[in-house]
Amino acid sequence: MVRLQKFLADAGVASRRACEQIILEGRVAVNGQPARVLGTKLEPAHDQVTVDGKPVRPQRKLYLVLHKPKGCVCSRKDEHDRPTVYDLLPKEWAGVYTVGRLDYGSEGLLFLTNDGEFALRLTHPRYGVRKRYVATVEGKVTDEMLRKFTSGIQVEGERLKAERGWLVTATKAQSVVELELAEGKNREVRRLFESQGLVVRRLLRTQIGKIKLGELKPGRWRALTPGEIKTLLS
């Protein structure tokens, strides 16, 4: 027996949290009966599940790593008709969704999956999966700024914090900085620098957990190996 929200997430309907909302909205039925209660249990081999009247079946779990290029969004559809990361994938991977996001102007390591439990483990703050970024910043970044980042600062009522930070190069005109974050709040790296009056000109995510971007070229993808998946979940 498995919980309904886990079954839906494992089937690639959406992330676990999004599946819970779909259940609460009354869009899910089990054996023809509406299922609005979180935690409802079912037997995948025997019970029939539908979302919006369409059957949902278990599917092979997929785990992909993509080098997101600058100039595309992580949404499946964009109101401004900009390119999306899904345009970079073959049609047979249509059921995957991004694990977290990188904004339009950012680039680098991005996971996609149809496994809701995997996505939850990598994005929920309680698991503290660390992500590493290289930021090219206009202007000089000082050691004092990095100390503020690692101590934590308040920005618009929200606490932003880097776990580690170090200068790669720094001149009056431009600095290159590496930051390691545990939460990855919306635009967190850019907002940290903006709080010091600095603008990020390039932002590259190079690592999630122990998985590194490596030599993967922009716009290219590959499957995560079983060993890499195990490492991320351990």
Active site (catalytic) residues = 103
Residue 128 has a CB neighbour count (10 Å cut-off) of 10
Phi-psi region of 181 (alpha: psi -120 to 50; beta: other; left: phi over 0): beta
Q: For 188, phi and psi rounded to 5 degrees?
A: -65, -45
C-beta separation of 205 from 132 below 8 A: yes
| Closest to 166 in 3D by CA, of 151, 177, 150 | 177
Contact (Cβ atoms closer than 8 angstroms) between residue 82 and residue 70: no
Separation between Cα atoms, residue 182 and residue 58, nearest integer Å: 32
